[in-house]
């Protein structure tokens, strides 16, 4: 559990390394390790419109808590899941990482940009946008207290179902 005494002070390089590791876990389908990066109460939120501020009262493209993330990842790893035949492959590029602030409760706020390409059934899809991570120090190391994903086309018309986390 994070405490004020465990205030997290990250350098840009440390933040980059953490985010690169998170991306690698998704790209290699190591979902248990990816989920372990989150605190038990952490939300993963993909906003539906620019400037949205509350995933509980506004429409979201994705708003998952850790139990929902775990269930989705189990389905992604299950070879009998029809929606994953063939399996989605993806590649994350994370850049422009900045540690922008430290909050009064000990979290480091990290902003970055991403480009994710997913390939499935002879089709490539690209997702581009920004991340906002709230990272905290715990007894088990650095963890994600919350992750926000903002797609540059979040309010556009989409003809896809997001298969793998961005």
- List, for residues 64-101, the tens digit of each pLDDT value: 999 999 888 888 777 776 666 777 889 999 999 999 99
For residue 114, being part of any structural domain is answered with yes
Euclidean distance between CA atoms 60 and 62, whole angstroms: 5
For residue 162, being part of any structural domain is answered with no
Beta-bridge partner residues of 137? 142
Helix (H) or strand (E) holding 18: helix 12-27
For residue 40, being part of any structural domain is answered with yes
Contact predicate 144/41, CB 8 Å? no
For residue 22, being part of any structural domain is answered with yes
Q: 65: domain range?
A: 4-151
Place of tokens 């903002």: 150
For residue 29, being part of any structural domain is answered with yes
Helix (H) or strand (E) holding 61: strand 60-65
Cβ neighbours of residue 14 under 8 Å, at least 6 residues apart? none
What per-residue confidence (pLDDT) applies to 4?
A: 42
For residue 103, being part of any structural domain is answered with yes
- Global pTM? 0.89
Helix (H) or strand (E) holding 107: none
For residue 49, being part of any structural domain is answered with yes
What per-residue confidence (pLDDT) applies to 161?
A: 66
Euclidean distance between CA atoms 112 and 97, whole angstroms: 4
Domain count, the chain: 1
User: What is the CATH number for 98?
Assistant: 3.10.450.50
For residue 35, being part of any structural domain is answered with yes
CA-nearest of 104, 123, 116, 117 to 149 is 116
Report which DSSP code applies to 84. G
Helix (H) or strand (E) holding 64: strand 60-65
> pLDDT tens per residue, the chain (166 residues)?
444 446 788 999 999 999 999 999 999 999 999 999 999 999 999 999 998 999 888 888 889 999 999 888 888 777 776 666 777 889 999 999 999 999 999 999 999 999 999 887 888 889 999 999 999 999 999 999 999 999 999 888 877 666 678 8
């Amino acid at each position: 559990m994070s405490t004020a005494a465990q205030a997290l002070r990250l350098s840009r390089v440390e933040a980059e390394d953490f985010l690169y590791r998170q991306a690698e876990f998704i790209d290699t389908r190591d979902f248990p390790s990816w989920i372990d990066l989150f605190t038990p109460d952490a939300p993963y939120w993909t906003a539906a419109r620019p400037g949205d501020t509350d995933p509980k009262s506004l429409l979201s493209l994705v708003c998952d808590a850790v139990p929902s993330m775990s269930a989705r990842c189990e389905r992604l790893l299950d070879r009998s899941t029809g929606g994953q035949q063939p399996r989605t492959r993806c590649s994350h590029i994370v850049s422009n990482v900045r540690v922008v602030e430290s909050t009064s409760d000990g979290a480091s706020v990290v902003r970055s940009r991403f480009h994710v390409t997913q390939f499935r059934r002879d089709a490539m899809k690209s997702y581009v946008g920004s991340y906002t991570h709230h990272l905290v120090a715990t007894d088990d190391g650095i963890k994600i207290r919350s992750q926000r994903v903002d797609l540059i086309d979040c309010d556009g018309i989409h003809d896809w179902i997001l298969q793998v986390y961005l």
